[in-house]
Amino acid sequence: MPETIADRLTALGISLPEAAAPAANYLPAVTAGNILYTSGQLPLRDGALIATGLLGRDLDVEAGQEAARACAINILAQAKSLLGDLERIEHIVKISVFVASTPDFTQQHLVANGASDLLVEILGDAGRHARSAVGMASLPLNAPVEIEAIIRYSDASA
């Protein structure tokens, strides 16, 4: 496994985007003590949703996992924007995965694996986290997935 988070991102062919600006009156991420809380991140790439619609009707689990991966990348972009360096991440404490899905769709946990697996690939053990994966009737902009994260980080002076 490559040594640094930047090396792992490069090895996976991932380049972090600029952190998305908030779409309304909220902050994209805040800190309290050594905990960073992200606002919900959508599966945006180059400023556009990579998919829209409901899991179980418009999208299959694989497409949902890809959307969840995009959300995780955007979480890391927000963390880098606020912390300055992803190496300050000590632990992804928890992610909450919201999956827009039909009432009979019951594989939200499999969709969430797209984000969970990527965070572990990039951060190693620091990426292992607690998680909720819940179905929603709809999400902003008709996004199929939205994810928020709680991240413990090291003090910059440490």
d(CA 89, CA 6): 12
Q: Is residue 158 part of a domain?
A: no
Within-domain flag for 100: yes
Domain that holds residue 147: 5-18+29-153
In a domain, 115, yes or no: yes
CB 78 within 8 A of CB 86: no
DSSP 86: G
pLDDT digit string, tens, across residues 75-89: 999 999 999 999 999
Q: Which residue has the higher pLDDT, 67 or 21?
A: 67
Beta strand segments in 64-129, E: 89-100
Instruction: Give how many domains the chain has, as a whole number.
Output: 1
- Domain with 75 in it: what CATH number? 3.30.1330.40
Give pTM, 2 decimals: 0.96
- What is the predicted pLDDT for the residue at 23? 85
pLDDT digits (tens, 9 = 90+) for 107-132: 999 999 999 999 999 999 999 999 99
Q: Report yes or no on 112 lying in a domain.
A: yes
| % of residues, the chain, pLDDT over 70 | 97
In a domain, 79, yes or no: yes
Give pLDDT, residue 156: 74
Q: Is the pLDDT of residue 104 over 70?
A: yes
**Cβ neighbours around 114 below 10 Å, total:** 25
Q: Of 145, 128, 127, which is closest to residue 136 (Cα–Cα)?
A: 145
Residue 116 placed within a domain? yes
Rg of the Cα trace of the chain? 15
- Average pLDDT of the chain, as a whole number: 96
pLDDT surpassing 70 at residue 157:
no
